[in-house]
Amino acid sequence: MKFKNLLVKKNIYLLVVFLWLILWVVFLIKQNKRGEYIQLKFLYTHNDAERKRFIMGQDLHDFVDYCKEQIPAGKTYKFVGIEGLDMVRARYMLWPAIMDPFDPEFVLLYKSNEVVPGGYGVLKKVNDAEVIFKKKGSQG
Amino acid sequence: MIFCLGLASIEILGMDLVLLLGLLFKYRYSRIEFITFSFFVGLGVISYLQFIFYLVSVRSNAQFIAIVVSMGLGLFIYLYLKSAKEIVTSIDGKPLDWIERLVILGLFIQVFWIILHILPMPVQAFDSVANFSLKAKIFYLNEGIPGNFFNLSEYSVWHLDYPLLLPFYMTWIYRFIGFNDVLITKIMPVVYIMFLGLFYALLTKFFSRKYSLIAVFFLGTIPQLTRYAAIVYADLVLGACITSAFIYFILYLRDKKSAFLVNSALLFGVSVWIKNEALVFLAVFFIILAAKIACSKERYILLRQAILACLIILLIVSPWLVFKCHKGLINSDINLKVLTAGKFLKNLRDSPILLFELQREVFNPKKWNILWIIVISVFIWKRKMFSDGILKYAVSFVFLALLFYSCALFLTTSSDLCFHVEKELTRFMIHFAGIFIFLTAYLFQKEVFSEEIND
């Protein structure tokens, strides 16, 4: 009886280990996110600058990169039309310019129909949907 | 290559302190324990130094790093030549059997897989970019923390109240490699490998080499843990420090050696520099330590050791905590000033969400394999052992930590509980995964060993 119990227990342990191994291999190989391997293939075949463009989205990356050239370090800005993960990535890229949603010196409009508040004039225009506004009368 | 130099400098600074502690407390480290423990201590040392230099307005630029590392290297050479043979012991020389080889191969495949995924990846995950990487970029460009940094608004930099170990770790590596936010992501697999190494070294103090390796394999192949080894989040670092500190603490409760308590205190102290959640573990550590002293016959010896541990923790955490209180830095999610009685009661009423999300996590093999099913099964099966020896302290530690943690995170949040639980629960489980695997292995060991005897 004792031997039988032992055999059952041992089989349960083996089953648990086997199940763990199977699931490990399955989730190791199976794509975590949709298109993960396609993304990896792209990243492996391009340089660092292209990798960053790809991760952020090429349009947005190019716009933020352009804004970076226009906004001096230490100046304040806010986004219109960039939110969530895109916003935190853009903010990361733009530092040492500082994000200030209340009284910014620059407003960065990206593919949005939102109206930019008064007191700002167009500084640079990539196209009609991607515009950098600057506060009228501000220095720098 | 230069990236490795950056890591080596962290190792050397950690080894200095670890060798000193080894000499002071006559403790012998195994080689793996020495290397991996030194790494986590080193992370604490570089964070502490960078923060102290901010407080005394010294720029932490390349020259500063060069001076610190040179001094660290000199001290390391002196200490190593003087005491390495007494402090660091060689590893077990027995040849590996086929199961051990298979387990090591599995772990190598897992590490290779993580590196394969992270190698071309720039920093990109939400909190990584919003918090840690942005702070590291700021500290690097400014050669230290800018003078007005803690006065910036939450819109400019998120979570100014967050401890700074991870940004400091990134900044330190940037000093070696230059600002490169593609290469920097490789710091996380290093943390993962060091965690597994230290976990293994500590498990061998309780179990056989084979059994320890299998437990490490279970930990190392948890999908969610491997996912966090590929993004720059602080949760894996916290999980590593808390788990190791906990196991050192259990070793202390078993053997009553000062060195174990000192190592545990050191890691609990370092944890406070990683995430605010570490304060919960620190509180539970003090409670259990007090309980142990109260229940012990050797009360005065234990009290002396406990005072030493408290002083170490105080020395480590006080600069950051005092500064944080002085500056009035407040967490945007858990802010007792914003929390009202009505909000608290609403959170309490909504707490079933927590159970719902918990079962979604527990029964999610894509994230946890069958870890929690094994853990829960073994805990129910072996529940009668909970009152035995050190297990009563270990289990009390875990359940108190769970209780405090849940209360702190889920009942006092002033933001939407549903959103908060969804976001935090999986990270919360990462902090506990190593501890639960250790306890499960501990509860289960008699089963395995009794069978080996019967065989």
Question: Using one digit for the tens of pLDDT, what is the confidence trace for B54-71?
Answer: 999 888 888 888 999 999
Nearest residue of chain A to residue B444 (CA atoms): A13
Place of tokens 């720039």: B122
Range of the domain at A101: 57-135
Q: Is residue A125 part of a domain?
A: yes
**Chain A 27-86, CB below 8 Å of chain B: which residues?**
27-28, 32, 40, 43-44, 48, 51-52, 55-56, 85
The answer to whether residues B140 and B172 touch, using CB atoms and an 8 Å cutoff, is no
Contact B126 A85 (CB under 8 A): yes
Distance from CA of B122 to the nearest CA of A (A): 6
CA-based Rg of chain A, rounded to a whole angstrom? Answer: 26
The answer to whether residues B244 and B267 touch, using CB atoms and an 8 Å cutoff, is yes
Contact B221 A20 (CB under 8 A): yes
The answer to whether residues B118 and B186 touch, using CB atoms and an 8 Å cutoff, is yes
What is the average pLDDT across B208-230?
A: 94
A125 in the same domain as A62:
yes
Q: Is residue A40 part of a domain?
A: no
* pLDDT at res. B455: 38
The answer to whether residues B409 and B334 touch, using CB atoms and an 8 Å cutoff, is yes
Helices (H), B256-351: 258-271, 278-295, 299-327, 341-349
Q: Which residue has the higher pLDDT, B316 or B388?
A: B316
Interface of B with A (CB under 8 A): 106, 109-110, 113, 116-117, 119-124, 126, 129-130, 133-134, 137-138, 141, 152-153, 155-156, 158, 180-182, 218, 221, 223, 227, 365-366, 369-370, 374, 447, 451, 454
The pair of structure tokens assigned to B388 is: 């035995």
Q: Is B160 exposed, middle or buried (CB count within 10 Å of its CB: 0-12, 13-18, 19+)?
A: buried
Q: Give how far the C-alpha of residue B331 lies from the chain's centroid of Cα atoms, to the nearest Å.
A: 21
CA B134 to CA B138: how far, in whole Å?
6
Q: Which residues of B touch A57 (CB under 8 A)?
A: none
Strand A120-127 vs strand A98-99: parallel, antiparallel, or unpaired? unpaired
A131 in the same domain as A94:
yes
pLDDT tier, A10 (very low <50, low <70, confident <90, very high otherwise) = confident
Helices (H), B382-416: 391-406
Place of tokens 């052992």: B385
Number of structural domains (chain A) is 2
Q: Quick one: what percent of chain B has pLDDT higher than 90?
A: 67
| Res A50 pLDDT > 90 | yes
Q: Is residue A38 part of a domain?
A: no
Of A33-42, B181-190, B284-293, B411-420, which range is least confident? B411-420
Q: Go through chain A and tell me how many residues it has.
A: 140
Q: Which residue has the higher pLDDT, B257 or A3?
A: B257
pLDDT tier, B335 (very low <50, low <70, confident <90, very high otherwise) = low
Which phi and psi (to 5°) does residue A77 adopt?
Answer: -150, 165
Write the CB contacts of B56 (distance below 8 Å, at least 6 apart in sequence).
none
What is the average pLDDT across B102-106?
A: 95
Range of the domain at B65: 2-89+97-454
A129 in the same domain as A71:
yes
For chains A and B, count residue pairs whose Cβ atoms are closer than 8 Å. Answer: 81
Nearest residue of chain B to residue A12 (CA atoms): B374
- How many CA atoms lie within 13 Å of B131's alpha carbon, on the beta-carbon side? 19
Helices (H), B56-146: 62-87, 98-118, 126-127, 133-142
Write the CB contacts of A97 (distance below 8 Å, at least 6 apart in sequence).
A68, A71, A72, A73, A74, A75, A76, A77, A106
* pLDDT at res. B449: 59
Q: Is residue A112 part of a domain?
A: yes
One-letter identity of residue B36: T
What is the average pLDDT across B78-95?
A: 78
The answer to whether residues B327 and B164 touch, using CB atoms and an 8 Å cutoff, is no
Distance from CA of B304 to the nearest CA of A (A): 44
Residue A95 in contact with partner chain B when CB distance is under 8 A: yes
Choose among A28, A48, A98: nearest Cβ to B156.
A98
Collapsing DSSP to helix, strand or coil, A138 comes out as coil
Contact A55 B365 (CB under 8 A): no
The answer to whether residues B152 and B161 touch, using CB atoms and an 8 Å cutoff, is no
| Res B207 pLDDT > 70 | yes
Choose among A16, A43, A100: nearest Cβ to B121.
A43
CA B134 to CA B156: how far, in whole Å?
10
What is the average pLDDT across B414-424?
A: 74
CA-CA-CA-CA torsion for B442, B443, B448, B449, nearest 10 degrees? Answer: 70
Choose among A6, A16, A48: nearest Cβ to B182.
A48
A68 in the same domain as A113:
yes
Contact A9 B121 (CB under 8 A): no
